[in-house]
């Protein structure tokens, strides 16, 4: 099934299907034509690529800058949140820093500040590359990023002063903050779709599906989630419809698009299977969007809603395995390339975490597992495996790949990248393992009615302390990363380039050797 | 894929399908649930307490739902005498079902712990009453005065947590929050849903 560039002649069709209707299948023909062209012809000169990169440079760098600033603040608040489990009287005198406010502030800063800003940047960089045309409406995109970030700033500031909507993942004030977020995302989306409409390629690469579709998805679910018309348990249904889809149809999709782009790009080998990509994309769109109610298993909802979500959660096996197999088969045999590309290291870790977190999510949606893990720290471990080990790692990989190309210089220090990787990677493994164990112990104690509630609290305490250690390691890693990005950026102000970065040299293709 | 329109329409179709199933359909089905006569709308003070509950993020550690005793220990723990049903949440806007039980469930806390003074003391310093608790203290809901004035609610703190001089007095916010907590009392039997006319029609041949 691999799209093999070694057989460029369309006059000789695929020997696997020499006759019959397969030969005239329109999608198949398009796929074959696009993948059969000799790569040296498809690869527009580096000058063209540099032109596309230049067209998106300003909004992309802005998105990364704002994202990294949120990342640092969000980590500090995350640490504070974690410390408050260990020392509950820490900084409790001020209402602005009470646990119940810094926790949602941490989540909102990370999801809407850090991840979303960086994802705007990533999508604005990907689209010109994949559509082989300069970015359309870059000013609009830039305005969108700024408006979105003003919205996040207002939302988080209001949250800390006690103004918010009170729904998890939707805490930001629906009158003052949310309209700005909707407008911001719509403006960035407009630039994305305008570029897509003016594309210079016929075939839409899989990353384009994910990135382009994410924008209408985000705007629709965000508006639906924030309407002030729901009450009672319906408000819970909408809450988890939104929160789960913010993960599934926004955070996940943009990052899968990025992984689908960078994996083949860095190792110089096409994606293993076009059809698996299709199954992965449409399967995710159909099943992920129905998953939300598994956050309310056993709750006061009509059982058909919960059953729908459990079923859809189990069906997620299909797209998750499709994407997992597709990406694994693409990179298999080339894992060694991770030694030379930090971007690839982060991306591969992110891709594996996507499979891991999805399988863990499916497992958690099963009633027998859920009765133990529901309402425990296991959920927090799971969400960090998703939003950190998958989403944030993928964004780190993206930034390591994209920033030097926009600045025209290599990252100055391999050791700082190593330190960053070891701190955040090691920290997050400790985080997920510790909270996972703590959560299960807590859940088992809670399920046993013979034990007092105290048992579930004390069982989790040492693991919460381990989580705090992990949180500090991760924060250190973020500061290393931010410092390194700052050094790289400030180098662009000096004009002497000691040697051209490797990506300015015309790339030599790695031929697919059989 | 080569067509933008297929991508756009396909993406819209899937998310709208999910919206219909999980938001619009339940909205029409759940909107008119009849609540039990014992369930009263929140008073002004309780509503203000509820706002404080939201503002200070109590929901991040406390759930407000009792699940089926057949597969959980919720009822056995005394968190309620029956599973909660949609009608119990008739006046909740937004919902506060919660997803974490770092602390115990509060669906029935007003019935379980009916003592307002206990709650005030517990909010001021949980560890004064429950040594193993990891709940944050909320000193900003209270005031340190040299002397309690008329109408003030002074806390009876144990010596280990009492200030060196003067008294700790509850602010109106603390009283409102406690009023809300005490209103969380769902110890009446679950309302019996009226059979829908359509269902009757099906049953009668």
The ranges assigned to domains in chain B are: 1-32, 37-187
pLDDT, tens digit only, all 514 positions of chain A: 344 444 434 444 444 444 444 456 555 665 566 555 555 555 556 778 889 999 999 999 999 999 999 999 999 999 999 999 999 999 999 999 999 999 999 999 999 999 999 999 999 999 999 999 999 999 999 999 999 999 999 999 999 999 999 999 999 999 999 999 999 999 999 999 999 999 998 889 999 999 999 999 999 999 999 999 888 888 999 999 999 999 999 999 999 999 999 999 998 888 999 999 999 999 999 999 999 888 888 888 888 889 999 999 999 999 999 999 999 999 988 888 888 899 999 999 999 999 999 999 999 999 899 999 999 999 999 999 999 999 999 999 999 999 999 988 889 899 999 999 999 999 999 999 999 999 999 999 999 999 999 999 999 999 999 999 999 999 999 999 999 999 999 887 776 666 656 665 544 444 444 4
Cα(B204)–Cα(A482) distance, integer angstroms: 72
Closest C-alpha to A229, from B137, B93, B189: B93
Tell me how far apart the alpha carbons of residues A164 and A185 are, in angstroms, rounded to a whole number: 20
- The pLDDT tens digits for A394-404 are 999 999 999 99
Nearest to A224 among B23, B98, B126 (CB): B23
Look at A95 and B8 and tell me if their CB atoms are within 8 Å: no
Binding-face residues of A in 59-118 toward B, CB within 8 A: 84-86, 88-89, 92-95, 98-101, 103-104
Show Cβ contacts of residue A12 under 8 Å, excluding neighbours closer than 6 positions: none
Superfamily of domain B37-187: Cytochrome c-like domain (1.10.760.10)
Q: Could you tell me which residues come within 8 angstroms of residue A363 by beta carbon, excluding any fewer than 6 positions away? A: A369
In this complex, which of B91, B99, B134 lies closest to A168 when CB atoms are compared?
B99
Which residues 41-100 of B have a C-beta within 8 angstroms of A?
A: 54-61, 63, 65, 67-68, 71-73, 76-77, 83-86, 88-100
pLDDT recorded at residue A494: 73
**Interface predicted TM-score (ipTM) of this complex, two decimals:** 0.91
Fold of A47-202: 1.20.120
Position A42 scores a pLDDT of 52
Three-state secondary structure call for residue B10: helix
Residue with tokens 């500031």: A157
What does the DSSP 8-state code read for residue A316? T
Among A39, A44, A52, A40, smallest CA distance to A402 is for: A52
Positions of chain B with pLDDT lower than 50, given as ranges? 198-205
pTM score, whole prediction: 0.90
Interface A:B, Cβ pairs < 8 A: 229
Return the biggest CA–CA distance within chain B: 79
Give the residue carrying structure tokens 């790009």.
A265
Structure tokens at A225: 């989630």
Instruction: Decide if A308 touches B, using CB distance below 8 A.
Output: yes
Buried b (16+ CB within 10 A) or exposed e, A477-502: bbebbbebbeebbebeeeeeeeeeee
CA angle A473, A98, A163 (to 5 degrees): 115
Burial readout A263-301 (b: 16 or more C-beta within 10 A, e: otherwise): bbbbbebbbbbbebbbbbbbbbbbbbbbbbbbbbbbbbb
Determine the number of helices (DSSP H) and then strands (DSSP E) in chain B. 7, 2
3-state class (DSSP) for residue A365: helix
**Are the C-beta atoms of residues A431 and A465 closer than 8 Å to each other?**
no
Q: What confidence score (pLDDT) does residue A511 get?
A: 47
- Hey, where are the domains in chain A? 47-202
């Amino acid at each position: 099934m691999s799209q093999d560039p070694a057989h460029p002649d369309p006059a000789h069709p695929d020997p696997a299907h020499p006759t019959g209707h397969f030969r005239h299948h329109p999608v198949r023909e398009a796929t074959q034509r696009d993948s059969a062209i000799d790569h040296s012809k498809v690869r527009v000169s580096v000058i063209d690529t540099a032109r596309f990169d230049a067209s998106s440079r300003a909004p992309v760098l802005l998105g990364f800058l704002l994202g990294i600033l949120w990342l640092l603040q969000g980590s500090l608040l995350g640490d504070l949140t974690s410390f408050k489990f260990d020392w509950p009287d820490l900084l409790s005198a001020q209402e602005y820093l009470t646990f119940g406010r810094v926790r949602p502030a941490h989540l909102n800063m990370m999801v809407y500040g850090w991840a979303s800003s960086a994802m705007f940047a990533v999508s604005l960089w990907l689209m010109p590359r994949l559509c082989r045309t300069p970015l359309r409406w870059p000013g609009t995109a830039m305005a969108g990023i700024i408006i979105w970030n003003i919205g996040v700033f207002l939302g988080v500031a209001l949250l800390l002063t006690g103004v918010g909507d009170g729904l998890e993942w939707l805490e930001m004030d629906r009158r003052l903050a949310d309209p700005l977020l909707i407008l911001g995302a719509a403006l960035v989306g407009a630039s994305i779709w305008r570029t897509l409409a003016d594309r210079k390629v016929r075939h839409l690469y899989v990353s384009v599906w994910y990135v382009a579709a994410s924008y209408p998805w985000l705007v629709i679910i965000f508006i639906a989630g924030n309407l002030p018309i729901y009450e009672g348990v319906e408000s819970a249904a909408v809450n988890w419809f939104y929160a789960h889809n913010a993960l599934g149809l926004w955070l996940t999709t943009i990052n899968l698009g990025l992984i689908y782009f960078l994996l083949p790009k860095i190792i110089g080998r096409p994606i293993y299977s076009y059809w698996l990509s299709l199954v992965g994309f449409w399967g995710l769109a159909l099943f992920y969007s129905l998953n939300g109610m598994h956050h309310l298993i056993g709750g006061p909802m009509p059982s058909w809603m919960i059953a729908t979500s459990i079923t859809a959660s189990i069906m997620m096996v299909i797209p998750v395995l499709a994407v997992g197999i597709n990406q694994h088969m693409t990179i298999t045999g080339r894992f060694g390339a991770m030694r030379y590309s930090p971007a690839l290291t982060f991306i591969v870790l992110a891709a594996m975490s996507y499979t891991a977190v999805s399988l863990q999510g499916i497992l958690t949606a099963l009633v027998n597992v859920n009765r133990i893990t529901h309402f425990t720290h296991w959920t927090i471990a799971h969400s960090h495996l998703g939003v950190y080990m998958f989403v944030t790692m993928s964004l780190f990989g993206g930034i390591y790949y994209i920033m030097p190309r926009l600045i025209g210089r290599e990252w100055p220090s391999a050791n700082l990248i190593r330190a960053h990787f070891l701190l955040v990677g090691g920290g997050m493994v400790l985080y997920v393992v510790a909270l996972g164990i703590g959560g299960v112990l807590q859940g088992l104690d809670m399920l046993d009615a013979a034990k007092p509630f105290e048992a579930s609290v004390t069982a989790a305490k040492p693991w919460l302390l381990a989580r705090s250690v992990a949180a500090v390691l991760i924060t250190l890693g973020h500061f290393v990363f931010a410092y390194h990005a700052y050094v790289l950026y400030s180098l662009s102000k000096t004009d002497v380039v000691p040697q051209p970065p490797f990506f300015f040299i015309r790339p030599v293709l790695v031929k697919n050797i059989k | 894929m080569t067509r933008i329109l297929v991508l756009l329409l396909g993406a819209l179709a899937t998310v709208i399908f999910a919206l219909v199933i999980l938001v619009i359909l339940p909205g029409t089905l759940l909107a008119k649930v009849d609540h039990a006569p014992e369930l009263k709308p929140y008073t002004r003070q309780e509503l203000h307490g509820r706002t404080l509950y939201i503002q200070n993020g109590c929901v991040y550690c406390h759930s407000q739902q009792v699940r089926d005793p057949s597969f959980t220990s919720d009822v056995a723990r005394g968190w309620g005498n029956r599973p909660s049903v949609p009608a119990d949440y008739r006046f909740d806007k937004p919902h506060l079902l919660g997803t974490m039980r770092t602390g115990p469930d509060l669906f029935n806390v007003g019935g379980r712990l009916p003592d307002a003074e206990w709650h005030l003391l517990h909010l001021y310093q949980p560890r004064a009453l429950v040594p193993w608790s990891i709940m944050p203290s909320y000193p900003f809901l209270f005031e340190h005065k040299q002397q309690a004035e008329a109408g003030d609610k002074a806390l009876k703190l144990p010596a280990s947590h009492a200030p060196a001089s003067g008294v700790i007095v509850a602010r109106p916010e603390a009283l409102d929050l406690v009023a809300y907590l005490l209103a969380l009392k769902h110890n009446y039997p679950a309302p019996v849903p009226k059979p829908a006319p359509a269902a009757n029609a099906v049953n009668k041949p």
